[in-house]
Structure 1
Amino acid sequence: MRPALLIHGPTASGKTQISLELAKRLGGEIVNADSMQVYRDLSVLTARPTDEEMKEAPHHLFGYKDAAERGSAGSWLRDARPIILDIQKRGNVPIIIGGTGLHLMALVDGLSEIPPIPEDSRQEVRKLFQQEGPLGAHRMLAETDPESAERLAPNDRQRVARALEVWYATGKTLSSYHENKTPPVLTKGEWLGIALTPPRQKLYGRIDSRFASMLIEGAMDEARALAARDLDPNLPAMKAHGMPWLLAYLRGEMKAELAAEYAKRDTRRYAKRQFTWIAHQFPFWPRIPSTEVDDRKRVIHALFKEIDAAYSNR
């Protein structure tokens, strides 16, 4: 068996290209760890590897869920665990790539087993935010889950809402679930984590140009197809970066140029949050700021060679 290689980085940082190069060099198979690339309905808008790219190396967990499904870190981990172990048993290297840091963290740290949140609980929390605002919602969290409230800022709406949803749905605090995690799939010595950290301004420029290319390649067609299905707007697939603004354009609520600009802006903001996640959650992962594929390949191969040798001698 060989160790796994985990590659994290912000959107548009070139993860697909480097994963293909490494798969060829290391004898690897690529496993998706991006929460949006799991949806078959979002090929263009999520920059999923093309059919031609997927022929260059074995790929797993790309485009296998329907947009009507509510994916989660837990469901992804259940799907990924047997695939990763099977790749290793066959003597190949699992190359796990994605911009969803929680998925990668779940592999190496374990994951809290939180039950599915029913829609009525989600609606209660949305109603709370509408009536009380972020500060009022945070005060409610402080009353029900003081530990989470102390850890989360009032303007961290997504995580505050998540903690409140867990309370509304289960009557238990999110903190209590964190105390009982599933065992990690990969333990110390069985994996190498790498973070791609290109210069921000260069990355933001790439985000803008890539979205323009997505519109040409069919992103609007994907939005039309989802709009025709009349799905719940709160489903994860309906919140893919750019999708809400494309849907707003299709409803006649704004011009195409404005929808595209808002989509680019939101994606840049998401990339900024990904940089923050890397800094806070993966402080010891080696960073590669270079955008050159040869530089990235050389550094990663040298680092992986060490852990591969140590793992094979265990």
Structure 2
Amino acid sequence: MNRAVQTLHFMAGVTASGKTEISLEWAQNQGAEILCCDSVAVYLGMNLGSAKPTEKERALVPHHGLDLCPVSENYDVIRFADYARRVVKEVSARGKALLVVGGSGFYLQSFFLPPSDGIQVSDAIREEVESLDTREGRPVMLKRLRALNPEGLGDLDVHNPRRVMRALERCLSSGKTLDRIRRDYQELPKPFAEFSKRMVWLDRENEEIELRISHRTNAMLKEGLVEETRELLEKGMQGNPTAMSSIGYREVIQYIRGQLTKDELPKEINASTRRLVAKQRKWFRNRLPSASRQILKEAEIPDLNSLHWISDS
């Protein structure tokens, strides 16, 4: 294997931190290709709301991970992990370096940990949990889940109904507690073990992030986010909960349905994006080396030589 491809580089970062511009310059400088690690950009047609690299930007550097699936279908981290393995193999065969870029935590995590715990959930258990949710609601589901986990639910987001349902399904299917499932998962073989990995994650001061979020939202709306969303709805977006709940699109759908006014729309998108940034920061702090965090100053792209790449070893 060419020495240039023995290391995978990862550029994580919160929304509106400037990942696209910086990753493009780095990849051009290194002769590298880019794998976008974004759970929204995988969908065809979800361009503006995901801040997908433009055709002009893609012409500068080969990009992977974009437009993988029709918006009417659901795409998950397991499919992405399989796709990523193929991309890494193909780029390695060409003797090129690869830069993984994104802010979708679970997609990023699939390069460091297995994307699945391997627990098989039967249709019967899935139907049982869905029926419980429909009949009794989340409080009853949580009560049952807590009964199966007397030592606690760990960091499970109990305010997310889908995560509560998935957790209950796994406990019922495996006969294990969430803590045991997590410990068993940690012992599974790690993906891409043959590569060393270097990481940098980008952030900015709150005031600057808020300004960039506002500019980003205004630009998306000016460039046609409402029209893009209407087209996606015509292409079957309603059948995809992930797409329907994506920030930007979710608020535009509320606007189309008369639930938001034109003046309220950008404010809601900005507020949702700020909440996403807070969640991303929490995820990165809990899972990435703190030394890899780099707070960027002002609007300009930093000197590439100043990026703090931290090895995972």
The verdict on a shared fold, with TM-score over 0.5 as the criterion, is yes
- Offset from partner CA, 1:163-191 (integer Å, 9 cap, x none): 13545777766556542476333338611
1:138 shift after superposition: 2.9
Moved more, 211-220 or 201-210: 201-210
Q: Distance in 1 between matches of 2:252 and 2:233?
A: 10
Matches within 5 A, 1:299-314: 299-300=306-307, 303=309
Q: Find the partner of 1:113 among 112, 118, 134.
A: 118
1:298 partner SS:
helix
Q: Does the aligned pair in 2 maintain the 1:196–1:289 contact within 8 Å?
A: yes
1:55 partner SS:
helix
1:89 aligns with 2:93: yes
Q: Find the partner of 1:253 among 259, 262, 266.
A: 259
1:293 shift after superposition: 5.1
TM-score (norm 2): 0.84
1:311 corresponds in structure 2 to none
- Offset from partner CA, 1:238-297 (integer Å, 9 cap, x none): 111121221121122331222322121111100110011111111345111014654351
Q: Distance in 2 between matches of 1:241 and 1:249?
A: 13
- Offset from partner CA, 1:201-254 (integer Å, 9 cap, x none): 211221122111101111111211122345445521111112122112112233
More helix by share: 1
> Which runs of 5 or more structure 1 residues have no equivalent in the other structure?
308-314
Alpha-carbon distance change, 248 to 68 in structure 1, aligned in 2, over 3 angstroms: same
2:37 corresponds in structure 1 to 33
Moved more, 253-262 or 200-209: 253-262
1:200 aligns with 2:206: yes
Q: Distance in 2 between matches of 1:121 and 1:52?
A: 49
TM-score (norm 1): 0.84
1:162 shift after superposition: 3.3
Q: Distance in 1 between matches of 2:74 and 2:262?
A: 28
Aligned-residue Cα RMSD (Å) equals: 3.0
Alpha-carbon distance change, 117 to 270 in structure 1, aligned in 2, over 3 angstroms: farther
1:89 shift after superposition: 2.8
1:224 corresponds in structure 2 to 230
1:64 corresponds in structure 2 to 68
Q: Does the aligned pair in 1 maintain the 2:71–2:240 contact within 8 Å?
A: no
1:197 partner SS:
strand
2:250 corresponds in structure 1 to 244
Q: Find the partner of 1:78 among 78, 82, 92.
A: 82
Identity of aligned residues (%): 25
Alpha-carbon distance change, 171 to 243 in structure 1, aligned in 2, over 3 angstroms: farther
1:21 shift after superposition: 0.5
Q: Does the aligned pair in 1 maintain the 2:154–2:179 contact within 8 Å?
A: no
1:6 corresponds in structure 2 to 10
1:101 aligns with 2:108: no
Q: Does the aligned pair in 2 maintain the 1:197–1:287 contact within 8 Å?
A: yes
Moved more, 21-30 or 247-256: 247-256
> Which runs of 5 or more structure 2 residues have no equivalent in the other structure?
none
Q: Distance in 1 between matches of 2:121 and 2:219?
A: 36
